[in-house]
Chain A
């Protein structure tokens, strides 16, 4: 925005220096590592890259990651919508607490979040004996992975929606009701179209985090290959086994997903500002 105007608040030297520093930083810490991921992935040739990906353990890890995203995204989209609706539209006891709690997964380390699940559902945990008695496995099994992923991705949709819904107010919704719309018609025809870009933006970020989550999932996974290993965890295992090409191959898939997310995010972001 400033570029097109004639306003000059800083001298030319200052502007160039600041720009150069910022670009150099981005180059060192973002572009170079990204390039390295792909270079390493293809270091032993395209064929080795492909074999590393279609190897059964890698495929299982990618499948589990996809499953975690498929569960966490709809669940937290629905929760985010409901929470944002309640917070933006109504004043109720505990509203402030709810706003704070939604941010909790952002505030605490993912490792701690994972640990909480172990302490709750693990063999020595609070509910451990009961779960063992009923032969229900949560920690070191797929349910634990899903729970951990859902927990760390709670804030994304609600955080995007609350300010948008608060700013837009509820008058359009009241107008829809006054015109005879049912609650569902109001939501589908008035509320949803007004928040759709913010909602999509939140979903994109939520999806990215669900795919990339490491810390919390690592705590509850148990790293059983082919069973409780997500893509992110699989990268670590392969790397620790000095299987660099395979590690970077799987990492490159995650990197590609991240790039796709960024593209989606910038497109959606542009629609919001329009």
Chain B
């Protein structure tokens, strides 16, 4: 089922949680709502679910206006951040709940319910836990029960609020890959909320970056990462170095350096901020005279797949660079080393 949100606004008292948000999610997509806390992503999810009533705008499921439909009639599966499992029911009963509360004429038979719950338990790899209570499960297991419970009613749309937020780093990585595989098997239109850019970029088909109640950018993970539409998106999706500079007639200047800035062919000079990711900077021990600035190594952290080098630029600002391990060994960097830095790529936003 496709979801379309048009001009949605939601206020809580004087606080405006989301402002004029429009968005389209295609059938079978897995979309991430990404943003810092307070960006309105959870509110947007809850409005789509029917857990909050919007102050303005409408929600369309498969082109049908569903703004005034009750949550029970929307056929959405909702997975809460803290799982919200029924604490007095076993895992089995939790998953069976949505089937048991159906009106008699649409309720499956006992045997049918049993069969479906066991199929779901198998799907989330919790067959052995059917008789346990939520308090006897680990966080990751609870999350999978919550997912199975939501899937039991065969929802047209699956909505997940920070599904891995309360788990430790290793488990959340495993679970998000598992969720991606599950989605590839089931193809239920899904939206999940996260503040973790890595999670969004890895699991989602498309990423919706939100900030202060508005959508900043919508795109595939590679689009939003490689071509951020706004400074906020640039900053939020990974480390970035900011350089104060100016642009003039298609050229960008940082201090004494000059770069081509196609697409900024304005005549007059304007102050601009240049965004350069750590891996877009190249370090050399000797200068080659073009488009390089001088810097001194302040600190080196070689742990991990890339070596992170903190520099102090010749004008005094801190700059971070990421290098491959091989390059790092070849350069033989250590604190105090004088180096030359060359930007390979950048994005320019006029201040």
Contact = CB atoms under 8 A, between A and B. Distances in A.
A174 B159 CA distance: 13
Interface string B150-179: 101100000000000000000000000000
Contacts of A193: 86, 88
Given A189-B97, A189-B101, A175 B153 contact: no
Interface stretch (A15-23, A176-184, A218-226): A176-184
Contact of A185 (B70, B71, B87, B101): B101
Nearest to A190: B86
A154 B111 CA distance: 46
Interface string A153-186: 0000000000000000001101111111110010
Interface in B322-344: none
Interface stretch (B61-69, B72-80, B239-247, B266-274): B72-80
Interface string B130-166: 0000000000000000000110110000000000000
Given A181-B72, A190-B86, A194-B88, A176 B97 contact: yes
A172 B101 contact: no
B207 interface: no
B98 A180 contact: yes
B149 A179 contact: yes
Contacts of B70: 177
Interface string B42-83: 000000011100000000000000000011100011101010
Interface string B87-103: 11000000001100110
A183 to B, nearest CB: 10
B182 interface: no
B51 A172 contact: no
A181 B88 contact: no
Nearest to B76: A178
B180 to A, nearest CB: 23
A181 B85 CA distance: 15
Contacts of B6: none
B71 A177 contact: yes
B87 A172 contact: yes
A175 B84 contact: yes
Residue among B82, B84, B98, B149 with the highest chain A CB neighbour number at 10 A? B84
A175 B86 contact: yes
Given A174-B51, A193-B88, A194-B87, A179 B82 contact: no
Contacts of B86: 172, 175-176, 189-190, 193
A189 B88 CA distance: 10
Contacts of A176: 86, 97, 101
Interface in A203-244: none
Given A171-B82, A189-B97, A178 B71 contact: yes
A229 B65 CA distance: 64
A185 B98 CA distance: 11
Interface in A16-47: none
Given A180-B153, A181-B72, A193-B88, A174 B80 contact: yes
B87 A171 contact: no
A2 B150 CA distance: 44
Contacts of B97: 176, 179, 181, 189
Contacts of A171: 80, 82, 84
A190 B98 CA distance: 12
Residue among A171, A179, A190, A194 with the highest chain B CB neighbour number at 10 A? A179
A179 B98 CA distance: 5
A179 B101 contact: yes
Contact of A178 (B51, B82, B85): B51
B69 to A, nearest CB: 13
A177 B101 CA distance: 10
Contacts of A175: 78, 80, 84-86, 149
A194 B98 CA distance: 18
A179 B96 CA distance: 10
Contacts of B49: 178
A174 B50 CA distance: 10
Residue among A175, A178, A181, A190 with the highest chain B CB neighbour number at 10 A? A178
B155 to A, nearest CB: 9
B102 A180 contact: yes
A180 B107 CA distance: 12
A86 B146 CA distance: 27
Interface string A185-206: 1000110011000000000000
17 contacts: A171-B82, A174-B51, A174-B71, A175-B78, A175-B86, A176-B86, A176-B101, A178-B49, A178-B51, A178-B77, A179-B149, A179-B152, A179-B153, A180-B72, A180-B101, A189-B86, A193-B86
Interface of A: 171-172, 174-182, 185, 189-190, 193-194
10 A-B pairs closest in CB distance? A179-B98, A171-B84, A175-B84, A181-B101, A178-B78, A193-B88, A185-B101, A180-B72, A172-B84, A171-B80
Given A176-B101, A181-B98, 18 more contacts: A171-B84, A172-B85, A172-B87, A174-B51, A174-B71, A175-B78, A175-B86, A176-B97, A177-B71, A178-B76, A178-B78, A179-B101, A180-B101, A181-B97, A182-B101, A189-B101, A190-B86, A194-B87
